[in-house]
Structure 1
Amino acid sequence: MAAFKCPAGKQQAFLWDDGAPGLGLRATPGGKPAYVFQGAYGGRDVRVTIGSPTAWSIQDARAKCRELQRLIDEGKDPRSLKREAVAAQQQQEAESLANAVTVGNLWPTYLEEGKPKRRDAWKPRYLEDLRRMSSPGGEPKKRGTGVTRPGPIWPLLSLRLVDITEDSLKDWHDNEAKSGKHQAARALMMFRGFLRWCATRREYRALVDKDAGRAPALLENLPSMKRRTDALEAAQVAGWWAGVEQLNNRTASVYLRALLLTGARREEMASIKWQDVDFQWRKLTIADKVEDTRTIPLTPYLAQLLATLPRHSEWVFASTRPLSMTRENIRRRERDSTQSGREAPAGNVATVGASGRMSDPRELHLKAQRSAGIDGLTIHGLRRSFSLLGEAAGAPAGAIAQVMGHKPSATAEGYRPRSVDALRPFLAQIEAHILALAGVQLDEKTEPGRLRVISAP
């Protein structure tokens, strides 16, 4: 049979079997011979390819031919059955391939194409949090020694989508909560966003349970997510101001007061460079969390405060020397000083970021609070304090929101953005109110910006 060829000048040729009616060997000019079955179904010829003679013996081919004839006798079209079998096989292979998709396969696409509700794209800071939460760790720490640990979402990246269930998420969350309950809870909230995104994609919708992260067994164990409400009361401003003013670290002292006088976020204020401070036209440009930047008035007292800082580098709130201290080192210094009966020096306790600017003055802020008898005031609480004190000073809500970099509200006083000069009297009004509460008298004659440049050691 292997010698059977298609004669020249013909498109195909058949060699029919006498032992099984309808069984033939078909040859074409450019192809190899193949067994075929030919019968009649519904008054028309039906031809089905069985296979190559190298794979099918004549006995097996005859048996297959009789099987196909029986299907026709039963009123079934063997061609349809073959197509259905091929389609079923392809569907099974596609399902097997889809079931093998892992969270890690889709996570980069989610970071690139995903977005929060009613927004066009991720906020840069949230996107960075997503990356940090899913990082493998092992990188040198920016502060302190050692390497970073894997992000809480990292263990989920190796799981298949079909394996993300209520039980698997609970096991993951319970394990991550051992290292930090609030961090694990935030990671869960972020991962729920990923599940919702998968559910919007046609190719992954059937593979994911978007409600797996909302199972009662998970939610009942989440820590309380109450919003912080800490803020300075009017009667506490004087004590807090005195405590901050007496800090040995002049840079941190000015930094903390600048937060209260502007309502800026911690990182926004820490990232200010000298090029962002315009002493001539009294403007301050801040890297904004929502927009790229925002420009606010540079009020008289804040201008004088900033002008007292030495210019060691491009950063306004720079480190006096590249000292990096972890919180554990700080606690050890305080413990040692307590045992020796001497107060721990605070001149360089604020943690220094990798870039050489101050990034974590929380320990110094705690020290200032202790001296003022204040408890539980976070650095972000200074931002809330600005808002509340601004209201007490009589400034419009829209002006306060614009200075703080809040997203504009259409309901707040028919909000429309004000120019820097239009904001100036309101921010000066707030500053004057805070200074009055702090018992500070402003010397209007002092000209800011006239300072000596100190070269780095």
Structure 2
Amino acid sequence: MAKVKFTAPRVEGFKCAPGKAQAFLWDSVAQGLGVRVTPAGKPAFVFQGLYQGRTLRVTIGGTDAWSIPQAQEKARELQRQIDEGRDPREVKAATIAADVATREASKGEGLTVAEVWPRYMAEGKPKRRTAWKPRYVLDLNRAASMGGEPKKRGQGTTKPGALAALMPMALASIDQDVIRDWYAREAKTAPIQGARAVAMFSGFLGWCATKKDLRTLVNKTAARASELGDVLPGVNKRRDALEIDQLPAWFAGTDKLRSRTAAAYLQALVLTGARREELAGLTWANLDFQWSKLTIADKVDATRTIPLTPYMAWLLAGLPRAKLPDGTPNPYVFSSPVGSKSGRTLSKSGRIAEPRAPHTDVLADAGIPHVSIHGLRRTFSLLGEAAGAPAGAIA
């Protein structure tokens, strides 16, 4: 293998002979350094050496990008790698892989919760089940909502969900301290909802930890309840409800209320099992006295239809058809005078807004210990179970 001292004119003037696929010119200064040319390709500096008894060749780079001194120094570096027992090809591949990993990690460090959340909603699911329940999907969407959207029912815009503050944050930046500070702010106004949001976010982090491209970015225990027991409220599921023996006194108490609307509303909660806001939003347009049914908005599905029993029909038919301040008919069955603020008799929307005060009066009159408004919904479920109705039919 003849060698010459590389000079710019020699390197630039070296050409591939006709009929040859490639040709090499070797340097006499740096061991293993050569120039490779082909009939059509650009000339390039190469290194050729003997590694573990076999010849290897590595491309250094184009002669237009590397000077002769730079190429000579690179050839010496590659020969040193061989002398150290390393394969220059593997060293180069490892360098490229590390560079790619660094770039990917850099991109991942800026990945926000909001960017990953839609993927979680599409791919996530509970353990040992094929999909989340519709109710839980709705709760996840609400918790992650940034708010500001027009309300589907009523006036105004929606409020940010409990997880809204975490959405713009980088996934890699969320640790236990971040969760603690965030929950402390949420707990000032809604500690129970905040605690449930912590559980939701813990599920999200756990899911991220199962994904190859995300697991290095997350601290999957950051929102784990066992790690936050000192700040999260204790689990105390409310099970208050009216007992069967208390019902006669309770119904008698509602009959003593001055507001027939409030009395009918409280009774309807027990008789239908509807949620507080679902029933408050009942309109005359959704009451069908002819076919004995009523339709209300539902938290899970868009609406649901409930049979209208003869007693319920009589109860609701006797309610006053109120008017709004502008003289137009009030659309709500359980109407309330419109005022600037909610209270015992005023509401912003024109429908019953705060039934707790009359309910407290009923309990006091009947001598019944405290039962929440939601406890009236549980009362319906308990009565259904006592009557032998299937659990799924009264949920």
Q: TM-score range by the shorter chain?
A: 0.7 to 0.9
Change (3 A) 1:39 1:319: same
1:330: which partner in 2?
Answer: 342
| % identical aligned pairs | 53
After superposition, where does 1:167-206 map in structure 2 within 5 Å?
167-206=177-216
Q: Secondary structure at the match of 1:213?
A: coil
Q: Give the one of 379, 387, 393 matched to 1:395.
A: 387
Deviation at 1:212, TM superposition (A): 2.3
Q: Tell me, yes or no, if the aligned pair for 1:104 and 1:157 is still in contact at 8 Å.
A: yes
Q: Does 1:385 align with 2:379?
A: yes
Which 5+ residue runs of structure 2 have no aligned equivalent? 1-10, 323-328
- Does 2:146 correspond to 1:154? no
Q: 1:373-427: per-residue Cα shift (whole Å, max 9, x none)?
A: 5553222111222234456xx61142xx3552x2xxxxxxxxxxxxxxxxxxxxx
Cα–Cα, structure 1 residues 145 and 291, in superposed 2: closer, same or farther, change >3 Å? closer
Corresponding residue for residue 413 of structure 1: none
Unmatched segments (≥5 aa) in structure 1:
335-345, 407-457
Corresponding residue of 2:29: 19
Q: Is the 8 A contact 1:39 1:47 kept in 2?
A: yes
Q: Which amino acid aligns with 1:256?
A: L
SS in 2 for 1:47: strand
Q: How much has 1:195 moved relative to structure 2? A: 1.4
Shift in Å, 1:187:
1.7
- Is 1:240 the counterpart of 2:232 in the alignment? no
Q: d(CA) in 1 for partners of 2:147 and 2:59?
A: 57
Deviation at residue 35 of structure 1 after TM alignment: 1.0
Partner of residue 7, structure 2: none
Per the alignment, residue 47 of structure 2 pairs with 37
Question: Superposed, which structure 2 residues align to 1:97-108 within 5 Å?
Answer: 97-108=107-118
Equivalent-residue separation in structure 2 for 1:119 and 1:280 (angstroms): 43
Instruction: Indicate if the aligned counterparts of 1:351 and 1:360 stay in contact, CA closer than 8 A.
Output: no
CA contact (8 A) 2:113 2:171 kept: yes
Q: Distance in 1 between matches of 2:88 and 2:253?
A: 91
Structure 2 counterpart of 1:76: 86
How many angstroms apart in 2 are the aligned matches of 1:282 and 1:45?
Answer: 92
TM-score, with normalisation over the residues of structure 2?
Answer: 0.78
Q: 1:59 to 1:304 in 2, by over 3 A?
A: same
The one-letter code of the counterpart of 2:167 is L
Question: What is the TM-score when the length of structure 1 is the normalising length?
Answer: 0.69
- Quote the Cα distance in structure 1 between the aligned partners of 2:91 and 2:283: 74
Contact 2:113 2:166 in 1 (8 A): yes
Q: Does the Cα contact within 8 Å between 2:199 and 2:225 map onto a contact in 1? A: no
Indicate if the aligned counterparts of 1:170 and 1:217 stay in contact, CA closer than 8 A.
no
Contact 1:270 1:358 in 2 (8 A): yes
The match for 1:253 is 263
Deviations, residues 209-256 of structure 1 (Å, cap 9, x unaligned): 322222655112222331223222445434533443455554443232
Contact 2:33/2:47 (<8 A) preserved: yes
Q: Are the structure 2 counterparts of residues 384 and 351 from structure 1 closer, same or farther at C-alpha, using a change threshold of 3 Å?
A: farther
Residues 143 and 351, structure 1, Cα contact 8 Å, conserved in 2: no
Counterpart Cα distance in 1 of 2:51 and 2:306: 85
Going from structure 1 to structure 2, the CA distance change for 1:11 and 1:70 (only over 3 Å counts) comes to: same
Kindly provide the CA deviation profile for residues 330-386 of structure 1, in whole angstroms up to 9, marking residues without a partner as x: 35xx6xxxxxxxxxxx3xx3563xxx7656544544455455555532221112222
Distance 1:2 1:357 in 2: 90
Q: 1:207 aligns with which of 197, 205, 217?
A: 217
Contact kept, 8 Å, 1:23 with 1:65, in 2: the verdict is: yes
Asked whether the 8 Å contact 1:350–1:361 carries over to 2, the reply is: no
2:125 is matched with which residue: 107, 115, 118? 115
Q: Distance in 2 between matches of 1:8 and 1:318?
A: 98
1:185 deviates by 1.4
Code of the aligned partner of 2:98? A
Distance 1:308 1:366 in 2: 23
Establish whether residue 165 from structure 1 lines up as the match of residue 178 from structure 2: no
Counterpart amino acid of residue 88 in structure 1: A
Corresponding position of 2:98: 88
Give 1:395's aligned amino acid. A
Kindly provide the amino acid, as one letter, of the partner of residue 379 in structure 2.
S
Give how far 1:257 is off: 1.2
Shift of 1:5: 4.8
What does 1:270-309 align with in structure 2 at a 5 Å threshold? 270=280, 272=282, 279-280=289-290, 282-283=292-293, 297-309=307-319
Aligned counterparts of 1:116 and 1:283: Cα–Cα separation in 2: 36
1:101 Cα deviation from its structure 2 partner:
2.3
Residue 66 (structure 2) aligns with: 56
Closer, same or farther: CA 289–174 of 1 in aligned 2, 3 Å? closer
The alpha-carbon deviation at position 89 of structure 1 amounts to 2.2
**Shift, 1:272, TM fit:** 5.0
